[in-house]
Structure 1
Amino acid sequence: MDVDGRTIASYRPTKPGLAVFVSGVTSMGIEILALPIVAPQYGSHIYTVGGILTVCLAALSLGYWQGGKRAASATTREMTWIMLATAVYMGVVIYANELLVVQTSTLALPARYAALPSVIVLFGPPTYLLGFISPYAAELSAKEGTGEASGHVYALGTIGSIVGSGATTFVLIPLLTIGQIALLFGLMLVATALAIEAPSLPRKPTAASVVVAVLLVVAAGGGPVALDYRGDVVYETTTAYQQQLEVVDDGDVRTMYLDDARHSAVDLEDPDRHVFTYTKYFHLPMLMADDPDEIDRVLFIGGGGYTGPQDFEERYNATVDVVEIDPTVTDAAKEYFGLEENENLTVHTGDGRQYLERTNETYDLIVLDAYQKDQVPFHLTTEEFMEVASERLTDDGMLYANVISAPTGSAGAFYRAQYRTMDEVFPEVYSFRTSETSSIQNIEVVATKNATEMSTRELERRNDARDLGVDLEDAVHNRMDEPDTDGAPVLRDDRGGVNGLLDPMLGQRYVVEETAGNGSNESVAETEPTEPAAPAAIGAPSSLEVIDSPSPISGVETDGARPVPADAT
């Protein structure tokens, strides 16, 4: 049958054309897959994403160059071996990705470049090998003329890249685990190698293809090799937002990890215990309100394990709405953290800012606890967002923001900018540190539409008088003076620079205070790396080490209240 003078058979892809298409699918799929593999260690910071793009493009270009030099003697058999060699390396990625990431993270590099060795080791070799395919295919193409052959190869490779990018992002990552996706790419390469040799299927390439396929399946079945110090992983998956979600049990404590960062925790034997000290601070607005019973509508932006929203719904006579962008996180909270929606607790799936812009509801309290690794999404930090939040608050409403930053010094640049931004919109802003060290930590910033300043002494009096069921003595004691924001920028939608504010924190450690778990108010400090992770053995500060040697906070209240302790050294 003819179509425009050509037979249907002429539209069948040639063997070189098939190889180019599959290499395009695989190379772009590997590039997309790289982020959820390295993000748990280094975070999804711009330097991690940029490092992945740089390494993959450099490796691919090097492969093009080397392949072009050798293309004059290219054969389909060489393309077969390249496909199989790439598939073998996919087995390495499946089985040893966590081990290789951890080992390469110990290299003594500046924090912004810390992810590069991991990306080079894991994704440089397979991308480099796939770069050989295009110049080989152009040499072996049946097209007349160099220009036509090159154009044909470029088109097929680009179409393959589009398919690989779209399928990996929108289909594979939401449905499969990282290991399963890598297995699929490996088997696709093996199948292509066999298709290139068909119909003759010579003995050596065929046997090698079978061996490689078996190795891939064994690697996938065995799972990644790694030493998990955190406890027993009871559930893990990759979400549609390319977050690696894990639920880990360590004794009686169950923790939700997103990209290797702890987001929520519950004591299975004592559900009322606040495992993370900063979650106790969520109740500070109940001291700041003239009457805590007047806080009857609360919005949480960010769900995680939903420990905070559930605590509010159970402890107070309040209606609680929660906006969580990732439905997989909500599903995990229902399965492993006891989340149950009811008439007083409602979950909304979507972006927090978009929800505020579209809803007609007003709230007495908005709790901002949304994070990507250890930073608030930029569009939830700006003056424009604060204005939207203020419009959705009642006349005496409050906005509570959980900020990860240092209280002073260069690593506190983001905190000072966030404080100044909130101060532009709200009459009164208060901040409370969760650790008495000068390390990066959870700083709780409360902005209120009530213009009457609340003294520390009054907060202490209310904590003693009100039966909240949560003792906030330590939280009140950790109130900080207003920071010096003279050099801090006001964060705006049309003005970038957040990455620059976060740069001083890269590779440092932040203190996560935990309650002792014995019913007392004592706490212990645990540390986590800010993204990207610092070398674990070389150049990393200890858990309570002063970061960037900030000057101590004076912390003396004007009303004669107890001073905030100076930073530990």
Structure 2
Amino acid sequence: MDLRTAAAYRPTKPELAVFVSGVTSMGLEILAVRIIAPQFGSHIYTVGGILTVVLAALSLGYWQGGKRARGATNREMSWLLLATALYVAIVIYASDLLLIQTSTLALPPRYAALPSAIILFGPPTYLLGFISPYAAELSQKAGVGEASGHVYALGTIGSILGSAATTFVLIPAMSIDTIGVLFGGLLVGTAIVLTLPSISRKPLLASVTIVLLLVAATGAGPITYDHRGDVVYQTQTAYQELEIIDDGDTRIMYLDGARHSAIDLEAPDRHVFEYTRYFHLPMLMTEDVDDVDRVLFIGGGGYVGPQDFEDHYDATVDVVEIDPGVTTAAEDYFGLEESETMTAHTNDGRQFLQNTDETYDVIILDAYKQDQVPFHLTTVEFMDLVSDRLTDDGVFYANVIAAPNGPASEFYHAQQRTMDQAFPDTYSFRTSESNDIQNIQIVATNHETGFSEAELAERNDARNLSVDLSEAVGNYMPASDDSDAPILRDDRGEVDSLLDPMLGQRYVIEETEDGSGSSEPPSPSQSVGGEPPIAATQQTESRPPLVVTPFGR
């Protein structure tokens, strides 16, 4: 086909239907991850489950459509597109309610997202599967092979466009509901074109009604009570859903439904979560606090931890945060101000270390994709890179979510053994007396140190740090036998299998009493996908409250 022929080409109505069905089916598949991940996590089981449901629904649609294709008409295809658009309106309106309801089903955690994926995205994808065999039947091509090949090519081109446009253009610029309305409107518009030049009253009324339902669904979702507090800000960044929520005097940043940073609006010097005090442990392991000139945080979140270091130490702080939307939210809602001693870098943490010539006295890894560290920030290759970017007597700190022992401790043991390959000495500290999943802090020194718990306690007494670390030092975990734990490598993606025993178990964060401590963020930071995490709060007179949430749900 020469350029002149291509320019003069006008697709037939069946070809247009196939192309639009490809755009919409792949666009809905991308949206499915963004809709379902905040409730169930973005681990491999959620993403793989969505792909399985979409492919199964399409296959069933192809099969049923092929059986019914003889005698197919453009009008029948228009009704299929209208029915799909109607279901998109249902997804926009009821997705939050359906996600909450399906999350209560008694299923193994790895399969927890399947019911939501089936209910929300199975029917529309199944209906779109009818379009290709119908279009092949209506094709003007001479042979069956040419007709089917032409249809599949157009559908695939549409899928490529739908995937690219949704990923790189629509999600960064629009809300999920708005994108849903856009896809619904595209389906309705295509359905109308299929019935032209004369459209009868019934499909016209149906088209108008569905358009009204699509528009109404964006602002009339089912009334639900958000137990987390008052939503101050909400947006879809290129990487995740970002929410700022005020729960009384506590302001919390949620990324894909998981808590990532928090401040006390009335007592800004308070560490909202107990474990964030532990971020200062590297300052006990340096030769002299005054010698710490450069600190790097991998993962910014609300930037409360980096700001705390800037306020209390005479050091220059660099922060690597992959999501610029998170940095903007930190500026607007968490008081972040860049200065000569505080610089934010929009980059992936590993790429930043590969490209920088700077060396740091302390590097703190607090980068999370919902409730797990991104795989490429866990491997021995990454640890070697960190060691190279530390000064000779530098200290590396990693925030790890796992259990201290038992099956749910597999990732912790693997991470510590991996760090042992790159650093002379590593030290682990639990943050809760329970054996539940919690934040375990692993600190590694770039030279041999051999600190005992007593020596760290003496340093804590002698050094006038901004936070008392006596409780943190008291939670020192003696070295355990982790010789059976795997060493994490770039070419061996074992993190998901190591996290598998933790799925669905409770994840405990101990919370400080009001008005105590310093300033700091709660857990994860860097973004790139769990049930909204505050599932219960417990408090006794002798211990601070606990925040309890299912891990990975």
Distance 2:209 2:449 in 1: 74
- The yes-or-no answer on 1:297 pairing with 2:297 is no
Aligned residues: 529
Equivalent pair of 2:505/2:551 in contact (CA under 8 Å): yes
Distance in 1 of aligned mates of 2:358 and 2:454: 34
Corresponding residue of 2:21: 23
Take 2:341 and 2:124, find their aligned partners in 1: how far apart are those partners?
52
Please list, as runs of the form range in 1=range in 2, the aligned pairs for 1:317-336 lying within 5 A after superposition.
317-336=314-333
Q: Partner of 1:37 in structure 2?
A: 35
Distance 1:6 1:34, change over 3 A: closer
Q: Hey, what does 2:455 align to over in structure 1?
A: 458
In percent, how many aligned pairs have the same letter? Answer: 68
Counterpart CA distance in 1 for 2:516 and 2:200 is 71
How far apart are the structure 2 equivalents of 1:47 and 1:6?
47
- How do 1:476-555 and structure 2 match up within 5 A? 476-519=473-516, 523-531=544-552, 533=553
Give distance in 2, aligned partners of 1:146 and 1:376: 50
| 1-structure distance, mates of 2:261, 2:550 | 16
2:300·2:320 contact (CA, 8 Å) conserved in 1?
yes
Point out which structure has higher relative CO (alpha carbons under 8 A, 6+ apart).
Answer: 2
Does the 8 Å CA contact 1:55/1:124 hold for their aligned counterparts?
Answer: yes
Counterpart CA distance in 2 for 1:389 and 1:5 is 57
Q: What does residue range 315-464 of structure 1 map to in structure 2 within 5 Å? A: 315-464=312-461
1:323–1:349: 8 Å Cα contact kept in structure 2? Answer: yes
Cα RMSD of the aligned pairs, angstroms, is 1.6
For 1:399 and 1:5, how far apart are their aligned partners in 2? 62
Q: Decide which of 470, 474, 486 is 2:471's aligned counterpart.
A: 474
Q: Structure 1: how far apart are the matches of 2:45 and 2:5? A: 50
- Give 1:175's aligned residue: 173
Amino acid at match of 2:211: A
Q: Which runs of 5+ in 2 are unaligned?
A: 518-541
Distance in structure 2 (CA, Å) of the matches to 1:281 and 1:225:
40
Quote the offset at 1:461 in angstroms: 2.2
Counterparts in 2 of 1:144 and 1:249: CA distance versus 1, 3 Å = same
Q: Deviations over 1:50-87 (max 9, x none)?
A: 10110000000100111111111312111111111111
TM superposition shift of 1:225 = 4.8
Q: Give SS of 1:437's match.
A: coil
Structure 1 residue aligned with 2:198: 200
Tell me the equivalent position of 1:552: none
Moved over 4 A (4+): 2-9
Deviation per residue, 1:144-164 (Å, 9 max, x gap)? 222222112111111110110
Report Cα offsets for 1:253-305 as digits up to 9, x if no partner: 11011111100001111111111111110011112223111112100000011
Structure 2: how far apart are the matches of 1:51 and 1:102?
Answer: 17
Distance change in 2, residues 1:85/1:225 (3 Å): farther
Q: Choose which of 119, 131, 156 in structure 1 pairs with 2:129.
A: 131
Name which of 49, 56, 59 aligns with 1:58: 56
Do the aligned partners of residues 8 and 322 (structure 1) sit closer, same or farther apart at CA in structure 2, a change above 3 Å counting? closer
Write the distance in 1 (CA, Å) between the matches of 2:211 and 2:506. Answer: 42
Once residues 165 and 310 of structure 1 are traced to their aligned partners in structure 2, the CA distance between those partners, rounded to angstroms, is: 38
Give the 3-state SS of the residue equivalent to 2:70 in structure 1.
helix
Instruction: Name the SS of the counterpart of 1:72 in structure 2.
Output: coil
- What whole-Å deviation, never above 9, does each CA across 1:90-144 have from its counterpart, x for those lacking one? 1111111111111111111111111100100000000000001111111122222
Q: Is the 8 A contact 1:16 1:140 kept in 2?
A: yes
Q: CA deviation at 1:3?
A: 7.0
Q: Write the distance in 1 (CA, Å) between the matches of 2:36 and 2:23.
A: 20
Residue equivalent to 1:73: 71
Measure how far apart 1:236 and its partner are: 1.2
Structure-1 separation of matches of 2:309 and 2:164: 41
Equivalent in 254, 257, 267 of residue 257 of structure 1:
254
Cα gap change, 1:419/1:341 in structure 2, threshold over 3 Å: closer, same or farther?
same
Deviations 1:286-333 (A, max 9, x none): 122231111121000000111100110011111000011111111111
The Cα offsets for residues 329-378 of structure 1, whole Å up to 9 and x where unpaired, read as 11111111111100000011111111111111111000000011111111
Distance 1:153 1:267, change over 3 A: same
- The answer to whether the Cα contact below 8 Å between 1:428 and 1:452 also exists between their aligned partners in 2 is yes
TM-score (norm 1): 0.91
CA distance, structure 2, for counterparts of residue 3 and residue 491 of structure 1: 53
Matches of 2:513 and 2:210, distance apart in 1: 51
Measured after TM superposition, the shift of residue 39 of structure 1 is 0.5
Contact kept? 2:270, 2:515, Cα under 8 Å:
no
- The structural deviation recorded for 1:467 is 1.9
Shift in Å at residue 227 of structure 1? 3.0
Q: Is the contact made by 1:95 and 1:225 (CA closer than 8 Å) also made in structure 2?
A: no
Match of 2:114 among 113, 116, 123: 116
State the AA in 2 paired with 1:369.
D
| Structure 2 residue 219 is matched with structure 1 residue 221 | yes
CA contact (8 A) 1:422 1:447 kept: yes
The one-letter code matched in structure 2 to 1:527 is: V
Q: Distance in 2 between matches of 1:479 and 1:6?
A: 74
In the alignment, residue 509 of structure 2 is paired with which amino acid? V
The CA deviation at 1:222 is 2.3
Three-state SS of the structure 2 residue aligned to 1:367 is strand
Letter in 2 for 1:498: V
Query: 1:190-231 deviations in whole A, cap 9, x for unaligned?
Result: 111111112212111011100100000000122465431101
Question: Do the aligned residues in 2 keep the contact of 1:261 with 1:528 (CA within 8 Å)?
Answer: no
Secondary structure of the residue aligned to 2:231 is strand
How do residues 94-109 of structure 1 correspond to structure 2 at under 5 angstroms?
94-109=92-107
Moved more, 439-448 or 100-109: 100-109
Distance in 2 (alpha carbons) for counterparts of 1:252 and 1:223: 28
Contact preservation (8 Å) 1:96, 1:225: no
Distance 2:135 2:480 in 1: 63
Give the letter aligned to residue 213 of structure 2.
L
Structure 1 residues 522 and 468: alpha-carbon distance in aligned structure 2, compared to 1, 3 A threshold: farther
Instruction: Quickly say closer, same or farther: Cα 1:503–1:392, change in 2 above 3 A.
Output: same
79 and 475 in structure 1: CA distance in 2 versus 1, 3 angstrom threshold = same
CA distance change for structure 1 residues 518 and 270 in 2, over 3 Å: closer, same or farther? closer
Tell me how far 1:458 sits from its aligned partner.
2.1
Flag the 1:490–1:196 CA change in 2: closer, same or farther, 3 A. Answer: same
Task: Give the AA of the match of 1:338.
Answer: G
Contact kept, 8 Å, 2:30 with 2:166, in 1: the verdict is yes
SS, match of residue 515 in structure 1: coil
Q: Give secondary structure in 2 for the equivalent of 1:33.
A: helix
- The alignment partner of 2:391 has SS state of strand
